[in-house]
Chains A and B, each alone.
Chain A
């Protein structure tokens, strides 16, 4: 079953409090190579049948209107994964 992946990230100018907490915790486990973390969201939309242009357009619309809030987030990726 094909899936459409939508990736949403907090806008660059919005301080990401969760990412900040994670980057603070990483060194405590010995992961010292990372100077920043930003946490986003990945959605997987399952499609029963082939992904047409129209369905992909629907996914893009859903990503902009519901899956993300354009005030605080950007849709950074919409792509089809073949099963």
Chain B
């Protein structure tokens, strides 16, 4: 049996990528762990933004020549022990942690379970516990971009409101008060929930960045809001492709750096 390709060939030509021309060479690794669900969506988002997705396997011992890495959503190791707790010890994660902390500052985006893995790996502070209402939640969610100076948010305006998908059970962001004050003081809250707090997250935090701005994690799913027809309806009644900005942001930064 042949392996299922990371991105299905759906026939026809995709619409012109928003940032085409010279960008398709940028390689964005998408890591698959046992139990990862959203690797294909993440890879598709990379491609729609104009980049080249590269499939990475958790047991790989080398990162290869990727220019950035996405840890996608899902339920790695069935969320056993704690969400992300076992995936954190995958061989490839050691390489990703080293590369993210190196002078090269590899851009790393953790989405949902990927965010949980980043906190377990100590690349980002805090942790996630069960939603305060205990239910799995799946809905369109408005976020406010609080920091547009990171590798993954530089194509947004500060304060811009974007609509993406939120779907999780362990989505309540927690950290001690000192850590929360530091995050706020250093402008490291990257995204906040708008309209309501869907899971009891401290201070309405949906996503955060590290001090250097190369590592970003968030619970909602930008990769599910990149194509008309397969995305949330935005406030204006049109399909939201607001999530595409994450991927065009990192591609834009990579081009500038070259």
Q: Which residues of A contact B (CB under 8 A)?
A: 10, 13-15, 17-18, 21, 66-67, 69, 71-72
- Say whether, besides A69-B82, A71-B127, A17 and B174 are in contact (CB < 8 Å): no
Closest A-B pairs by Cβ, 4 of them: A71-B127, A17-B130, A72-B127, A17-B134
Interface range on chain B (Cβ under 8 Å from partner): 20 to 34
Interface contact B174-A71, CB-CB below 8 Å: yes
- Say whether, besides A14-B129, A17-B129, A66-B89, A71 and B175 are in contact (CB < 8 Å): yes
Known pairs A15-B200, A17-B134 / 7 extra A-B pairs, C-beta < 8 Å: A18-B130, A21-B134, A66-B85, A71-B125, A71-B175, A72-B129, A72-B174
- Say whether, besides A69-B127, A71-B175, A72-B174, A17 and B82 are in contact (CB < 8 Å): no
A69: which B residues are within 8 A, CB to CB?
82, 85, 120, 127
Q: Is residue B81 within 8 Å, beta carbon to beta carbon, of the partner chain?
A: yes
Q: Is residue B126 within 8 Å, beta carbon to beta carbon, of the partner chain?
A: yes
Chain B 135-190 interface residues, beta-carbon cutoff 8 Å to A: 172, 174-176
B130: which A residues are within 8 A, CB to CB?
17-18
A14: which B residues are within 8 A, CB to CB?
129, 174
Q: How far is the CB of B177 from chain A (nearest CB, A)?
A: 9
B89: which A residues are within 8 A, CB to CB?
66
Q: How far is the CB of B171 from chain A (nearest CB, A)?
A: 11
Majority secondary structure of chain B interface residues (helix, strand, loop or mixed): loop
Q: Which residues of B contact A (CB under 8 A)?
A: 81-82, 85, 89, 119-120, 125-127, 129-134, 172, 174-176, 200
Measured CA separation A69–B131 after assembly (Å): 17
Chain B minimum-CB-distance residue to A15: B132
24 contacts between A and B (CB under 8 A): A13-B176, A14-B129, A14-B174, A15-B132, A17-B129, A17-B130, A17-B132, A17-B172, A17-B200, A18-B130, A18-B134, A66-B85, A66-B89, A67-B81, A69-B82, A69-B85, A69-B120, A69-B127, A71-B119, A71-B125, A71-B126, A71-B175, A72-B127, A72-B129
Measured CA separation A21–B169 after assembly (Å): 15
B175: which A residues are within 8 A, CB to CB?
71
Q: How far is the CB of A67 from chain B (nearest CB, A)?
A: 7
A21: which B residues are within 8 A, CB to CB?
134
B85: which A residues are within 8 A, CB to CB?
66, 69
A15: which B residues are within 8 A, CB to CB?
132, 200
Measured CA separation A69–B83 after assembly (Å): 11
Q: How far is the CB of A11 from chain B (nearest CB, A)?
A: 9
